[in-house]
């Protein structure tokens, strides 16, 4: 169990991970608490950083962003300046959905969403490959999505 959370908090987080658009009234009914108590708990969970933000998860096919690539990036050096430059620049790219600093053979892995291969090629040539801090980029493309979940087990 997560530190500082009781069973009701855990249940609220489980409910909201599946559908955060539910009203406080609906959530309150599912946890057998009053609407006011449930609202206060949700507010506290947000204030304490358990809930970072509330978003809508879109269908990437319907918005024409179904061409998913994972790019592994090796930097030229690991100086503070080189790392800072890469992080700041890659964070600006709207095509980059996630960026993780990694251990192992590569320094970063990026999840990139584009319309198609032409769109990815444009992103690669005009944005990613122009970063002077990068030594190597190795990219793999998603053939099919087996599982995609945003909810953590609690």
Quick: pLDDT tens for 120-134: 999 999 999 999 999
Tokens of 94: 């709207």
Q: Are 69 and 141 in contact (CB under 8 A)?
A: yes
Q: Which domains does the chain have, with CATH numbers?
A: 7-47 (1.10.10.10), 67-141 (3.30.70.920)
Q: What is the pLDDT of residues 69-86, one digit of tens each?
A: 999 999 999 999 999 999
Q: pTM for the complete prediction?
A: 0.89
Q: Residue 34 carries which DSSP code?
A: -
DSSP 82-144: HHHHHHHHHHT-TTEEEEEE-SSS-SEEEEEEESSHHHHHHHHHHTGGG-TTEEEEEEEE-S-
Residues lower than pLDDT 50 in the chain: none
The C-alpha atoms of residue 16 and residue 4 are separated, in whole angstroms, by 18
Q: Which has the closest alpha carbon to 73: 132, 147, 115?
A: 132
């Amino acid at each position: 169990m997560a530190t500082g959370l009781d069973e009701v908090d855990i249940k609220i987080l489980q409910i909201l991970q599946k559908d955060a658009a539910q009203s406080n009234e609906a959530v309150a009914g599912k946890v057998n608490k009053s609407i006011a108590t449930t609202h206060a708990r949700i507010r506290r969970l947000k204030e304490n950083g358990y809930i970072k933000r509330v978003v809508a998860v879109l269908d990437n096919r319907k918005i024409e962003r179904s061409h998913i690539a994972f790019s592994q990036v090796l930097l030229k050096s690991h100086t503070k300046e080189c790392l800072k430059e890469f992080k700041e620049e890659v964070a600006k790219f709207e095509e980059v959905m996630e960026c993780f600093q990694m251990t192992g053979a590569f320094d970063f892995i990026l999840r990139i969403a584009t319309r198609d291969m032409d769109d990815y090629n444009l992103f690669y040539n005009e944005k990613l490959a122009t970063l002077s801090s990068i030594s190597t980029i190795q990219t793999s493309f998603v053939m099919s999505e087996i599982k995609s979940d945003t909810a953590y087990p609690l």
